[in-house]
Structure 1
């Protein structure tokens, strides 16, 4: 073999060993600039070719490399050593230390406790899921590390997810094509977690449950309604409810998110201009009949109760006194649109029309409307950046 051909094989093999895995790692991790690219299909393609590329690269590389080691110059031997070290380091980086499913592992055992046996502080923010007379609470601090917890609420399988990069917490049905799937965490695109089902190998955005590449492209995981509230409020509403208990194996990982549910991250200049709407401003996002609207969290906290209209439907957004729990309802009963205001008792909110008192479940507990219940609307709290990315077009309530 001529020296030129041998050199060509060496560098071709090196490129096959390094470039696909390195490029995929860049696209699936939050490196500067990587998350803004429309490149999920490229990342998916790279995922499929990394192993074949490594095999081809090794076959191309091994003969010239071994020849350089036996007969080459000192410089050639050094280059072989450098490439070996680069590949070993890259493999450790992409397949061991910084592989998403290894960085954010699921709990080995999902343990729950009732109110009497619970060890979790009741100040924690939770995602509440209710199925019939079964209610379960999943603390954001724990789900935020795991990114996903696969569980059952009653006899219904659920996929509880949370992405801390965009502050999106959603619960899905893990049923794909009639079969319950096990999901793995792939990485992130547009600062949102991407998960893969075991059978079809399709990739799904956590923010929407939409499959964006693979055989299921265009399909959506069914969303199972959940609500954000403090654990204290959860037990007040569901005294027999159960709360997820932390896996002590991940105590250090949980501690990183200790204040995540209370401390709002800011863009760099937000402290000097607090009234501006920043990408990391918190919003409550509501989708109804194909229309989207984002309600600025800081304004909701000041108002407590906001009456609005979305998709020709009157709605009300209410925030509980703990400044953490929120709910959205259709503000119409018996074809009458109601206008709601805060109530000094802090047990709920009142309508102006009849002065009836409604609790945080949307049930009227006092007044002429007693016993009636407002229709609940599913809503999410997340960063403005994430809401705008995955819910276009959207209106912004100011």
Structure 2
């Protein structure tokens, strides 16, 4: 083989590999993300993320060096008399590299696969078109409430909004089933974020000012200048739109952007865990990687609760981080609540019988929302537990390595 063709082949293969590797470790390609049963996946995958970040930040000069090495053998193949098929091979590989360069930096970029709303519409309930049985992430600030349907934010991955004069960043990762609302302030300044990829199947965002990569499930900066810091996780709740609207009659609701009708259609069964894709489809058995759980965090302690058990028993009593907790299931079997069982100096124990939620200490009757409607404690309300999320079991255990499993040794 002509030595200049050999040099050309080596250079072009290295360039193609460079482009592919720059996205391979942070996108769901075969083998790019660690298995769900890794002993310490959040740390084991970090080396791959660090490599991806290094390639991301150095891709410019690496690409330039590769092109310089490519230039000389390409020039010799063009000006020197060589076999015609040498030039055909070289031309074909250059075309292949051009295609890879375009695909990697346009079509395969996370923020191009999952785009932000073009025409964002947030309307009052009187103008709402979202069905009441759809799950939403609800957020309230200074008396103003807004609901963000999972079917919509699951595609967008993030939606920026202002609620009660507070700027927020509503995020969702369908592969982890994690809904989070963050303050977009970084070091006290509002910043812009773009979806850059994933870390062990969880979405990552890159801030515009420093280029740091942030993990969606925890708000923690995993690589970059601000590594180790975290953006503020704001309290939000997940339930059906009907239940959210019953609590907040004046709520606003995010509407579907017509520009993404096809994408939303593919997400229509996600709420119920019936997605066709294996990365987003629910495992109906308990404690499997794709099983639904409720994860609760309190004072640095975490516990996971089986969604199937809560649906069956309707109420679960526990203690997390020294605080007495009760999880409640709404009549629709899709909405849930997490509440502190302490009322004044008294800690209550709840049971569900005869389709009623009652406490054993006073036999008062309560709603799943933590409101007492009858009995000695009528008019009392349970305080919400701030950090309670529904998500896939693999996600919660990946980023909460010391978590306990309720009713499990």
**Shorter-normalised TM range:** over 0.9
CA contact (8 A) 1:202 1:215 kept: yes
1:15 CA displacement: 4.4
CA contact (8 A) 1:359 1:365 kept: yes
Aligned match for 1:104, one of 95, 111, 114: 114
* C-alpha distance 308-265 of structure 1, shift in aligned 2 (>3 A): farther
CA contact (8 A) 1:292 1:392 kept: no
Structure 1 residue ranges without an equivalent (≥5): none
Aligned match for 2:125, one of 110, 115, 137: 115
Tell me the residue number matched to 2:371. Answer: 363
* Distance in 2 separating the partners of 1:355 and 1:278: 37
1:394 and 2:403 are equivalent in the alignment: yes
1:70 CA displacement: 3.7
Tell me the residue number matched to 2:65. Answer: 56
1:201 CA displacement: 0.6
1:137 CA displacement: 0.1
1:212 CA displacement: 0.5
Tell me the residue number matched to 1:182. Answer: 192
Q: Which moved more, 1:63-72 or 1:111-120?
A: 63-72
Aligned match for 2:149, one of 131, 134, 139: 139
Aligned match for 1:21, one of 19, 22, 34: 19
* Distance in 2 separating the partners of 1:132 and 1:343: 37
Query: Residue by residue, what CA displacement relative to the aligned partner does 1:329-349 show, whole Å, maximum 9, x if unpaired?
Result: 111111211011236567xx3
* Distance in 2 separating the partners of 1:102 and 1:147: 12
SS in 2 for 1:381: strand
1:264 CA displacement: 5.0
Tell me the residue number matched to 2:209. Answer: 199
SS in 1 for 2:129: coil
Structure 2 residue ranges without an equivalent (≥5): 35-44
* C-alpha distance 165-267 of structure 1, shift in aligned 2 (>3 A): closer
Q: How many residues align?
A: 389
1:17 CA displacement: 2.2
* Distance in 2 separating the partners of 1:81 and 1:164: 41
CA contact (8 A) 1:149 1:159 kept: yes
Query: Residue by residue, what CA displacement relative to the aligned partner does 1:128-149 show, whole Å, maximum 9, x if unpaired?
Result: 0011210000000000000000
Q: TM-score with structure 2 length normalisation?
A: 0.90
Tell me the residue number matched to 1:35. Answer: 33
Query: Residue by residue, what CA displacement relative to the aligned partner does 1:80-118 show, whole Å, maximum 9, x if unpaired?
Result: 123212212212321111211011000023211111111
* Distance in 2 separating the partners of 1:65 and 1:207: 47
* Distance in 2 separating the partners of 1:108 and 1:274: 35
Tell me the residue number matched to 1:374. Answer: 382
1:266 CA displacement: 10
1:373 CA displacement: 2.0
* Distance in 1 separating the partners of 2:217 and 2:33: 15
Moved over 3 A (4+): 6-9, 264-268, 273-276, 343-346
Aligned match for 1:243, one of 241, 253, 270: 253
Q: TM-score with structure 1 length normalisation?
A: 0.93
SS in 2 for 1:28: coil
* Distance in 2 separating the partners of 1:200 and 1:360: 44
Tell me the residue number matched to 1:294. Answer: 304
1:365 CA displacement: 2.9
SS in 2 for 1:116: helix
For residues 261-280 of structure 1, the aligned pairs below 5 Å read 261-263=271-273, 275=285, 277-280=287-290
CA contact (8 A) 2:5 2:86 kept: no
1:52 CA displacement: 1.8
* C-alpha distance 119-344 of structure 1, shift in aligned 2 (>3 A): farther
